[in-house]
């Protein structure tokens, strides 16, 4: 399972980033405009909030386990979650966590 999590983390980094980079090529590097596009309608706003809440829950879980296990390298999953997405951060954390 460990390498399935790694494969999902890589896929979760590459696939969403393809769309983000495509959007930046078309609209320039404007984070404000991107966040406005995320809230273009109720469905996309719901998805944004769903992923935001999942990212916060994942972050709290990572921090709690890092404090108890002292596996500091696992903290790398937090910036992966917020800079790339839950689709990368969660499987990356599961990959890192599964080594012990």
Per residue in 25-72, pLDDT tens?
999 998 899 889 999 999 999 999 999 999 999 999 999 999 999 999
In order, the DSSP letters of 67-91 are HHH--GGGGGHHHHHHHT-HHHHHH
pTM: 0.86
- Rounded Cα distance, 11 and 96, in Å: 16
Largest CA distance in the chain: 45
What pLDDT is attached to residue 58?
97
Q: How many structural domains is the chain composed of?
A: 1
Identify which of 59, 47, 52 has the alpha carbon closest to the alpha carbon of residue 93: 59
Containing structural domain, residue 18: 2-97
């Amino acid at each position: 399972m460990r390498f399935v999590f790694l494969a999902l983390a890589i896929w979760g980094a590459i696939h969403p980033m393809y769309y983000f980079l495509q959007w930046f090529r078309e609209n320039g590097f404007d984070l404000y405009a991107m966040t406005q596009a995320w809230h273009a309608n109720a469905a996309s706003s719901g998805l944004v909030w769903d992923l935001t809440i999942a990212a916060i829950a994942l972050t709290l879980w990572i921090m709690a386990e890092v404090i108890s296990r002292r596996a500091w390298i696992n903290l790398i999953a937090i910036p992966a979650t917020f800079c790339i997405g839950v689709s990368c951060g969660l499987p990356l954390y599961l990959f890192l966590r599964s080594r012990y």
